Amino acid sequence: MILARAALLALLVAAAPVRAQSPDASDVAPPLRAAVVAYRAGDLATAEQALRRLGANDADAQAWLGAVLVDRGRAHEALPMLRHAADAGSAEGAHRLALLYAEGAGGAPRDDAKALELFEKAAAAGHRRAQINAGTMYFRGLGTARDLIRARAWLEKAATQDDPYALYALGRAMDDGQGTALADPVRAADLYRRAAQLGHPLAALRYGLALSEGNGVRQDFTAAQTWLVNAGKGGVPEAALAMGDLAARLSASHDKAVRQKNLQVAIAWYEVAAQAGLGSAQVKLGNAYLAGVGVARDPQQAQQWYGRAAAQGTVEAQHALGLFLTSGISGTADPVEGYKWLVLAERGGYPDSQAAREKAAEKLVERDRKRAEALADKFVAQAERPSDEGPPRLGPPVRP
């Protein structure tokens, strides 16, 4: 739903969160601390003034000044300053310059290979955020061939001080496998737990899913619900989707009343996730209204939910909406619009769409078919959720 490039940049930027750093700036040299504290507190004017006084002969001061200027929308002014700081040996300068290359900002051309080179330069000097970013780039294959071994190596270094962002990123890398780097779900679950306990909402989601599936940890539905609710409170709508799936799984009870109650709980969670803009939840809600499972059967409601998901590019919803509109399931038929959605679903690889489109084509005159195909050519998916490239905000430490 979020464009792939934006999502990858989000990982990079999220790996370097200002708020994950020490608020008292004990991680920087004493002469810079007051200015960095001001920067991290959002007082960019005070930070800029102080760093300009310090920057003439201090590469790290120049690097932090460059960071301030980027945040003030003056990345073009920051670029030569960051280049000078990086060349002078500032790990902070190399890291900040790498971010500009990764984003293609401030007049720097987007260059993943250059960004990775700079991240590794800063990472080798012990810069924790650069270690996370270098690991993330190897994990995603940005600027280099994907290399899970190198990704894990950098992320292991970053995680030694229990940084929640590093723990989460390492958990993702341990959850995956490549060649001789085998997946380790037990280690991944433990890393998610540790990051979740430090307030990382996406880690809470992953740990909740591991508990619900018994993946790398003993299956525990009660504990899974606790962590998924925690993730939801942290602003992760996927947690509501997972809660819905968990309730739906529990609906397999032989007791009819219990089964119906669990289905209703599942639908309530799906609606939370669907209203938050998750296409997969919208499809599940549409399916429930179409079949009358957990709710009264309502084809019109089903079509509305399929429509929202289809507009976001969800191929399953595009297929369903195409069938609705070509056949008039909800009471209103629109063969041209329906054919458009079937064309899009087929292009998206949905397995049954070709046969459905060919059947629908038999009922269209050539002019209408071409019009529908032209509409499909013009279609651009519109995500309901904004593309947020910032890091997830940490919640308070949790010890459930």
Domain ranges of the chain: 1-135, 246-378
- Single out the residue of 122, 109, 104 nearest to residue 16, CA to CA: 122
**Tokens, residue 18:** 């200002």
How do the residues of the chain divide into helix, strand and coil, expressed in percent and rounded to 5? Answer: 70, 0, 30
CA atoms within 13 A on the CB side of 194: 19
Say which DSSP state 11 is in.
Answer: H
Q: What separation in angstroms does the CA of 74 have from each of 13, 45, 68, 69, 259?
A: 18, 13, 9, 5, 58
Q: Per-residue pLDDT tens for 151-182?
A: 999 999 999 999 999 999 999 999 999 999 99
Dist CA 334 CA 44 (whole Å): 55
* C-alpha 249, offset from chain centre: 25
Q: Please give the residue that has the higher pLDDT: either 186 or 387.
A: 186
Is 400 a residue whose pLDDT tops 70?
Answer: no
Q: Per-residue pLDDT tens for 189-235?
A: 999 999 999 999 999 999 999 999 999 999 999 999 999 999 999 99
Cβ-based neighbours of 355, under 8 Å, separated by 6 or more: none
pLDDT of residue 18: 37
- What is the pLDDT confidence band of residue 387, given thresholds at 50, 70 and 90? low
**Tokens, residue 10:** 């989000």
Is 3 a residue whose pLDDT tops 70?
Answer: no
Q: Per-residue pLDDT tens for 175-190?
A: 999 999 999 999 999 9
- What is the pLDDT confidence band of residue 143, given thresholds at 50, 70 and 90? very high
Q: What is the CATH number of domain 246-378?
A: 1.25.40.10
Other CB atoms within 10 Å distance of the CB of residue 365: 9
User: In sequence order, what are the beta bridge partners of 178?
Assistant: 181
Q: Per-residue pLDDT tens for 227-275?
A: 999 999 999 999 999 999 999 988 776 788 888 899 999 999 999 999 9
Equal CATH topology for 1-135 and 246-378: yes
Is 42 a residue whose pLDDT tops 60?
Answer: yes
Q: What is the CATH number of domain 1-135?
A: 1.25.40.10
Lowest average pLDDT, out of 23-27, 49-53, 285-289, 339-343, goes to: 23-27
- What is the pLDDT confidence band of residue 16, given thresholds at 50, 70 and 90? very low
